[in-house]
Amino acid sequence: MTKFEDMKYERPDMAAMTADMKADLQQLKQCRDADSFLEIFRKINVRRSHLQTMTVLVEIRHTINTIDPFYAAEKEYWDEALPAWQVYENQFISICLDAPFRSDLLKEIPETFFQLGECSRKAFSEAIVPMLVEENKLATEYGALKASAAIEFDGKVLNLAGIAKYTEDIDPEVRRKAYDAKMKFFSDHSAEFDDIYDRMVHVRDRIAKTLGYHNFVELSYYRMNRLDYNADMIASYRKQILDYVTPETSIIYERQRKRLGLDHLSYYDLPIQFKDGNAMPVGTADDLVNDAVKMYHEMSPETGDFIDTMVENHLWDLVSRPHKEIMGYMTQIEDYKVPFIFSNFNGTSADVDVLTHEAGHSFQYYLAKEIAVPDVAMPTMESCEIDSMSMEFFAEPWMNLFFGKQADRYRYTHLCGTLTFLPYGCLVDHFQQEVYENPDWTPAERKACWRRLEKQYQPDKHYDGCEILEEGCWWYQQGHIFQSPFYYIDYTLAQVCAQQFAIRMYDHDPQYWNDYVNLLKKGGTRSFTQLVKEANLKVPFEDGTIESIVKSLEARISAVDDSKL
C-alpha cells in the first residue's frame, strides 16, 4: 500500500492518451462478440482509472492548499482538459450502449452501468464542451472566493471554518458578533457571489437548451443520474416533508428555546443547543483520530481493517489551515483502490461528524473496491449518502470516547438535527428548481425566492435585522448550490433511509448491520430504490414513509428530558 504523500502525480500526455483512446474505441466498435469486447473494455477502464487518479490527486492537493502554484496551474489545466476528454468518454459509453450483444455483456457489466450511460448520453454533446469549461472555472472561482475569507475576530484572522466555533459560544453577544462577522464577509462580497451565480445559472441554461431541453431542471435529472425517480416524485416527497417534518421541527426549536431560556430564537442562537454550550469533543485532533481507531476496531472486523488502512497510509487531511478550501468530502483514488477524506477540523462536534459521515462513504468504497467496473464501484449520490448518514447513527454507542460526559447531549442533538435538516434540504432543492425555471431572474428576485421558501420550510428562523439574511442571502454559504446543482436533495433522501436504519438499531433488530454491510458491498450495481428495498428499508417517496419515521423519532425525542442533558 502507498502512503498518500508518495502517490506520484504526473500530467498524462493527453495527445498520446487521446490517440490510444481513439484506436481502442475503433476496435471496440468493430467487436462482433462479447469476449473480444470485454477485453478492450477492461483495457479502456485501466486508462480511465489512471486519468481519474491523476485528476483526483490534483483536486485533493489543490484543495489542501489553494495557493500552491503548481497544483493551482494543474487545476486550471484540468478545468479545460476534462470537458474535451468527455467527448471520448461519451463515445465509449455510446459504443457500449449500442452493442448488439448487451445481454452477454450483462454477465460481467451491471445493468446500472448502461442506465448511467443513458444518462450520460442525454447530458452531453461536443457542442457543450466550451460551456462545461466555463462552468468548471466558475465553480473554482466560487471555491477560491470562500477560501479567501480573512475574518478579523477575537484578535485573530479566521477563515470560515475558524469563525464557526465562535458562533457556538455560550455568550449570546459573542455568538451574535461572530455570526455577524461571518456574514459581513458575505455582505462585503455580495456582488461577487451574485455575479458568479448569475453566470453559472446562464451557462447551465445554455447547456440545457443546446442539448434540447426546456431548462436546466430537466437536464439535471440526467446529470445527477436519477435512475428510477423523477421531478414529480421529488415534489410529492417535499410535500411530505412540509406536512410531517416541518411541524415537528417547530416543536424541537421550541424545546431549544426553553433550554436556552430565551424569549425567542434568533439566527445566532440556532447553532447553540444548551445554555452552557454544545457537546464539544474532548482532546486534540490526534485524540479524535485515536478514538476513531478504537471505535472502528470495536464496531466490526470490517471497519477495523478499514480504519487501519486509512491511518497507516495517511488517507486524510483533517485540520483547518489558511488557504485550505472550506469544504469536506470523500473521494476515491482509483489506481490505488483507496478512499481519501478531506475536512476542516474546527474544534466542534462537526469534527466527529467527519469521522463518521465521511468515513461511511470511505468504508463503502473500501468494501466495494473489487467491483471491476469503476463506474459502479460507488452508487449514485443519494445512495452514497445512505452509507455515510447511517454510519453517523451506528457510531452513537461510542460517543463517550469523543464527548465524555456530554455524549448523551451529542446523541440528542444529532437525532434532532437529522429531522431539522430535512426541511432545509428540501428548501435548497426547491429554490434551485425555481431559479433554473426562471434563469433570467435578477439577483434580487433570486434572493426574494429564497426568503419566501425559507419562511415556508423553516418558519422558525428569525433574522432580527441582520440585513443580508433578511434580504435572502443565506444560500451564499451553501456550496452545493454553486458547485453541485441539485445534489442537496440526495442528502435528505438518504437521511430518511438512515433514520430507518437507526430505528432498527434502537429496536435491536439483529439484521440491521448485515443489511448495511451488504448494501455497501453492492456499490452502484443497483439503482437507488433497488438498494433501499434490498436493505429492507422503505422507499422515501412512498406514502406513509415520512409520517411513520417522524412518529417513531418524535416518541424517542419526547422521552428525553433535555433539561438534564
Instruction: Assign 523 to helix, strand or coil.
Output: coil
Q: Would you state the pLDDT for residue 162?
A: 87
> What is the percentage of the chain residues whose pLDDT exceeds 90?
92
Q: Would you state the pLDDT for residue 288?
A: 95
Q: How confident is residue 370, by pLDDT bands cut at 50, 70 and 90?
A: confident
Q: What is the mean pLDDT of residues 92-103?
A: 95
Q: Would you state the pLDDT for residue 346?
A: 82
Q: d(Cα 504, Cα 485) in Å, to the nearest integer?
A: 32
Q: How confident is residue 441, by pLDDT bands cut at 50, 70 and 90?
A: very high
Alpha helix (H) ranges present in 466-511? 467-470, 479-483, 489-506
Q: Would you state the pLDDT for residue 511?
A: 97
Q: What is the mean pLDDT of residues 71-92?
A: 93
Q: Would you state the pLDDT for residue 83?
A: 87
Contact predicate 488/425, CB 8 Å:
yes
> What is the percentage of the chain residues whose pLDDT exceeds 70?
100
Instruction: Assign 345 to helix, strand or coil.
Output: strand
Q: What is the mean pLDDT of residues 106-120?
A: 95
Q: How confident is residue 179, by pLDDT bands cut at 50, 70 and 90?
A: very high
Contact predicate 365/306, CB 8 Å:
no
Question: What are the Cα distances from residue 139, in Å, to 49, 136, 436, 483, 484?
Answer: 24, 5, 17, 5, 9
Is residue 503's pLDDT more than 90?
yes
Least confident of 48-57, 129-138, 159-168, 372-381: 159-168
Contact predicate 326/160, CB 8 Å:
yes
Q: What is the mean pLDDT of residues 437-441?
A: 98
The ranges assigned to domains in the chain are 4-125
Question: What are the Cα distances from residue 275, in Å, to 84, 112, 260, 379?
Answer: 55, 50, 5, 41
Contact predicate 171/102, CB 8 Å:
no
Q: Would you state the pLDDT for residue 296?
A: 98
Q: How confident is residue 165, by pLDDT bands cut at 50, 70 and 90?
A: confident
Q: Would you state the pLDDT for residue 464?
A: 87
Q: Would you state the pLDDT for residue 73?
A: 97
Q: What is the mean pLDDT of residues 105-115?
A: 95
Number of residues in the chain: 565
Question: What are the Cα distances from residue 82, in Å, to 54, 86, 301, 465?
Answer: 12, 6, 39, 45
Q: Would you state the pLDDT for residue 161?
A: 84
AA identity, residue 447: K
CA atoms within 13 A on the CB side of 493: 27
Output the pTM of the full model: 0.91
Q: How confident is residue 520, by pLDDT bands cut at 50, 70 and 90?
A: very high
Nearest-CA neighbor of 95 among 39, 134, 41? 41
Contact predicate 230/219, CB 8 Å:
no
C-alpha cell of residue 402? 469523543
Q: Would you state the pLDDT for residue 185?
A: 97
CA angle 89/385/342 to nearest 5° reads 80
Is residue 416's pLDDT more than 90?
yes
Is residue 369's pLDDT more than 90?
no
What residues are paired with 333 via a beta bridge?
338
Q: d(Cα 257, Cα 345) in Å, to the nearest integer?
A: 28
Q: What is the pLDDT of residues 293-331, one digit of tens each?
A: 999 999 999 999 999 999 999 999 999 888 999 888 999
Q: How confident is residue 469, by pLDDT bands cut at 50, 70 and 90?
A: very high
Q: What is the mean pLDDT of residues 380-399?
A: 97
Is residue 24's pLDDT more than 90?
yes
